[in-house]
Amino acid sequence: MTELAFLSPDRARTEDLFAPRFASPLARVLAGTTAVRDLSQLGKIEVRADVDAIDVDAEVVRITSRRALVLCPYEQCAELRARLPGMVIDMTGALGGLELEGERAMRRLTDLDLEALPAAGKVAEVSALVLRDGERFRIFFPQEFAHYVGEVVLDVLEGIE
């Protein structure tokens, strides 16, 4: 089996003629705003294995007993891909991500129970994974919806101001 190198953005190489540029799907919509943090370049690795057996120095978000999303700094992706058990799929390019503050904004974005996070559900009508740290919320969603989600998030924040 191949390692599916073409899935992993961190495997791009700067060579004599070429200098690949990683572009966030949120780059345009979030340009100029400080209210929302772009997490798209965070490393995101899906693991399909016994989640309890995952032992790495990274944030492990349990989705089911046999499925988890491991979040890590971009630079750590290669190391984790090598160390993680089971089927490992690099989802860094697949998922857009952003961080925002405020429960009120989240209530306008999702009907998920904000007291029972992390959880997967709809955010701005798009399937997403939501994590909470106090008043800060991290949302991960398919990157193809990123620009749309960014627009909705900014619109919601504008409505609350």
Partner 1 sequence: MRLPQQPNERIDRARPIRFFFGGRPVEGFEGDTIGSALFASGRRVFSRSFKYHRRRGLLCCSGACPNCMMQVDGDPNVRVCVEPVREGAQVHAQNVLGSLERDLLAAVDHFGGPFTPVGFYYRTMIRPRGMWPVYEKFLRNIAGLGRLDKHAGRSRRFDTEHRRAEVLVIGGGRAGREAARSAAAEGRQVVLVDERGVPGANGDFEVLAPARAIGIYEGGLVPVDAGSVLYRFRAERIVVATGALEQPLVFPGNDLVGVYLPEAARRLVDEWSLKPGERAVIVSADDRGLAVADQLQRAGTSVVESIDLRSAPPRQLAARGRRGRLTSVVVDGREVQCDMLVASGGRQPAYSLLAQAGARIEYNAGRGIFVPSDLPANVEAVGSVAGELAPAAVPAASFNGADEAGRCFVCVCEDVTEKDMKRAIAEGFDSIELAKRYTTVTMGPCQGRLCHVPAIRLFAREQETDEATIGTTTARPPWAPVSLGLLAGRGHEPTKRTSIHHRHEEAGATMMWTGLWRRAHSYEHAGNEALNVHRALGVIDVSTLGKLLVQGPDAARFLELLYPNRFGDMKVGRIRYGVLGTDAGRIMDDGTIARLGDEQYYVTTTSTGADTVIEWFEWWNAIWRLDVETVNLTGSLAAVNVAGPRSRQLLGRLADVDTSNDGISYLDAKETLVAGVPCLILRIGFVGELGYELHFASPYGEYMWDTLLEYGADLGIRPFGLEPQRILRLEKMHILIGQDTDSESNVLEAGMPWIAKLDKDDFVGKWALEHVQERGFREQLVGFEMTDGVVPAEGGQIVLGGRSAGRVTSARLSPQLGRAIGMAWVRPELAQEDTEIEIRVNGGVASARVRLKPFFDPEGAQLRS
Task: Using CB under 8 A, list all residues that contact partner 1.
Answer: 1-2, 4-9, 11-15, 17-25, 28, 40-41, 46, 48, 87, 89-95, 104, 107-108, 110-113, 115, 124-126, 142-148, 151-152, 155-156, 159
Closest distance of CB 48 from partner 1, Å: 6
Least CB distance from residue 59 to partner 1, whole Å? 20
What is the DSSP secondary structure assignment for residue 5, as one 8-state letter?
G
Q: Is the dihedral of CA 99, 105, 111, 113 positive or negative?
A: positive
Q: In terms of CB distance, is 61 or 106 closer to partner 1?
A: 106
CA–CA separation, 97 and 84 (whole Å) = 22
The rounded distance, in Å, linking the Cα atoms of 74 and 72 is 6
Q: Please say which residue, 33 or 57, places its beta carbon nearer to partner 1.
A: 33
Query: Which region, left, alpha or beta, applies to residue 17 given φ > 0 means left and ψ of -120 to 50 means alpha?
Result: alpha
Q: Give min distance, CB of 110 to partner 1, in A.
A: 7
Pick 132 or 147: Cβ nearer partner 1: 147
By C-beta, is 16 or 57 nearer to partner 1?
16
d(C-alpha 51, C-alpha 48), whole Å = 8
